[in-house]
Structure 1
């Protein structure tokens, strides 16, 4: 096998010993390199290229953000391929334990083999079923989701579960603010109300009805929120009207830059704001609320 790969200039990642040992990740890297070097496929047409670029763009962007968030929790091993690395449930269970301490009984969990091999499917499904069970115990909306869906890499269902876990983390961070508001936890409606109030505090009239509001796409409302938090940070001479894509992108980029300068932990990129990816904008506002709490705003 390796001699033939050498003739094709594709002998990477594997040694005879590792090939016989059957390390799944090295095997995957070997096959991926072989495919990238000699795909054996006809070039795609422009029409096909457009379809591929549009395919599940939002899911891919969310997966990128959720990967960054999971790694910020210091899960082991580091998440590289979002859907693949979550299939056996071990990362999900670690995330639950970090976000909701004490929620995981580790005696009920199957650990990955020390030799680096994958968990057997039935053990992986036991883990993911347990992850779904913990989510339901914490009032996550997981109707129709089974552990096997996560193990099989069902994209929408996996994203939905991790989003609720990330949102729980945001809510936990805003716990002190919730107490001041006399609430058990902060809802999306509370976040919208807070953001509108912060815009008004800065002397601006912009407002939103929800995190799906299309006006979020030009970035101006988010800049108005930041202005309400600390007016000296927003120079409106640098804020564009947002009437075209370039201006909207510049505003979104400026909002992210100012938020980070304030000390907020930001997961999204300008495109997420311009395309009004509501889940990711929730993380932005949630982080601003937590930052405002620290600033005493």
Structure 2
């Protein structure tokens, strides 16, 4: 059965991202033998509607495309779900009494946190945006990891060369180290080297969530204190 046509997979994901947004009366919970295809397409259409409510970019995508298994269109939706999920987790990590985690973190808030964290870690690096060309060698991300978790980075393994191969090596090291200290990073090294803003943003968001998680470090001090 297709992922987005299943009543308790796609809809549950949206409900995790924004609790209460799913109208379960609109979700087909079982598939009648004669209406199976129509019920599945109905679920796919509803997944598209939910995505639009979260301001996903879904121009030209219909439920039938998802049902038919269009790989490119499914990936477009899945990517945006992953991004929204990351931001929702971050919102819960940084929730205040006022928003209670219901408001998704903005890119500017993530950038502000990153630069503050780098400064707190006595790093000379900074980031102006997720499209910043300086991000391609992953050294800013490496510095951020070291600021969050001192001693996690062996700078002898970080290259200062500008060749693509060296940048890729740095990116692989940054991602593997981020995962080692507990960040749920799902971006690829190539995403960093090619400076794909949306994917790089998820790296920063995952690191920010880790930093805000209690007891992430032995001294228990996070960037928001």
Could you tell me the TM-score, scaled by structure 1's length? 0.61
Gaps of 5+ in 1: 1-76, 78-84
**Does structure 1 conserve the Cα–Cα contact (< 8 Å) formed by 2:45 and 2:62?**
yes
Which secondary structure does the structure 2 equivalent of 1:266 belong to?
coil
2:96 paired residue among 169, 174, 179: 179
Tell me which moved more, 212-221 or 100-109.
Answer: 100-109
**1:92 matched residue in structure 2:** 10
Change (3 A) 1:143 1:86: same
Matched residues, number: 212
Gaps of 5+ in 2: none
- Within a 5 Å distance, the mapping from 1:1-297 to structure 2 comes to 85-86=2-3, 88=5, 90=7, 91-111=9-29, 119-120=36-37, 122-175=38-91, 176-179=93-96, 184-294=103-213, 295=216, 296-297=221-222
**Does structure 2 conserve the Cα–Cα contact (< 8 Å) formed by 1:264 and 1:288?**
yes
Change (3 A) 1:269 1:165: closer
**Does structure 2 conserve the Cα–Cα contact (< 8 Å) formed by 1:219 and 1:242?**
no
**Largest Rg, 1 or 2:** 1
Which secondary structure does the structure 2 equivalent of 1:264 belong to?
coil
Whole-Å separation in 1 of the counterparts to 2:84 and 2:105: 10
Whole-Å separation in 1 of the counterparts to 2:161 and 2:3: 38
CA drift of 1:87 comes to 5.6
Whole-Å separation in 1 of the counterparts to 2:67 and 2:128: 37
Structure with the larger helix share: 1
* Alignment root-mean-square deviation, CA: 3.2
